[in-house]
Amino acid sequence: MNDSLRELYEEVILDHNRNPRNYNHTPENANHTAHGDNPLCGDRYSVKLTVKDGRIDDAGFEGSGCAISKASASLMLESVKGKSLEEVEHLFNSVHRHLTDHKANEESDDELGKLKVLGGVKEFPMRVKCAILPWHILNAAINETDQMVSTEQQ
């Protein structure tokens, strides 16, 4: 990670941790919900979605955890609101690759936009699970697997 990306990483994570978007927000007519935890860190969240006409109309999350997990959830919901479920699935796959594949080319991940900063966790392997947890919960909510998802059960 170069210096400017590192600075951006710290700035964005701090900002979204201090002032999480869509946090403790319950979407009106929420019709998709899932919960999940990362026992290694103590991150535990619920995600609620209002899906209408195949699109995420509104979204919110609650729970608690470390700065990385909270910032990741905040950034995630900010970027998936208004997107179609197909677009969100595509984004989930891109983020997953971006966070876990060390060979992933940062330049080729332009579609990630601001989410790119999450790739900063690759330098801290323990933190990857914190960053990816909200995305697994989102995926479970969309697929209506009415189960608790955990980073330790995959």
List contacts with Zn ion (CB under 5 A).
41, 43, 65-66, 69, 130
* Least spacing, CB of residue 65 vs Zn ion, in Å: 5
Neighbours of 3 (CB within 10 A): 7
3-class DSSP assignment, residue 93: helix
**φ and ψ at residue 71, rounded to 5 degrees:** -65, -35
**Would you say 27 or 63 has its CB closer to Zn ion?**
63
**Would you say 43 or 58 has its CB closer to Zn ion?**
43
**Would you say 34 or 133 has its CB closer to Zn ion?**
133
| Residue pair 120/12 in contact by the 8 Å Cβ criterion | no
Q: Rounded to an integer, what distance in angstroms lies between the CA atom of residue 127 and that of residue 19?
A: 20
* Least spacing, CB of residue 100 vs Zn ion, in Å: 16
Query: What are 102's strand-pairing partners?
Result: none
3-class DSSP assignment, residue 56: strand
**Would you say 13 or 51 has its CB closer to Zn ion?**
13
* Least spacing, CB of residue 133 vs Zn ion, in Å: 7
Q: Rounded to an integer, what distance in angstroms lies between the CA atom of residue 112 and that of residue 97?
A: 11
* Least spacing, CB of residue 66 vs Zn ion, in Å: 3
